[in-house]
Structure 1
Amino acid sequence: MNVPISTSVEQNVRNYFEVLDGESTTDLYELILSQMERPLLQVVLEQTNGNQSKSAKILGLNRGTLRKKLQQYDLL
Structure 2
Amino acid sequence: MKLLVRNLSRSTTEQEIRILFSAHGEVNECTLVLDQATGKSKGFGFVVMPNENEANAALAALHETRVAKNRIRVKVAQD
What is the TM-score normalised by the length of structure 2? 0.27
Higher strand share: 2
Please, what TM-score do these two structures have when normalized by structure 1? 0.27
Structure with the greater alpha carbon radius of gyration: 1
Which one has the bigger helix percentage? 1
**Greater relative contact order: 1 or 2 (C-alpha under 8 angstroms, separation 6 or more)?**
2
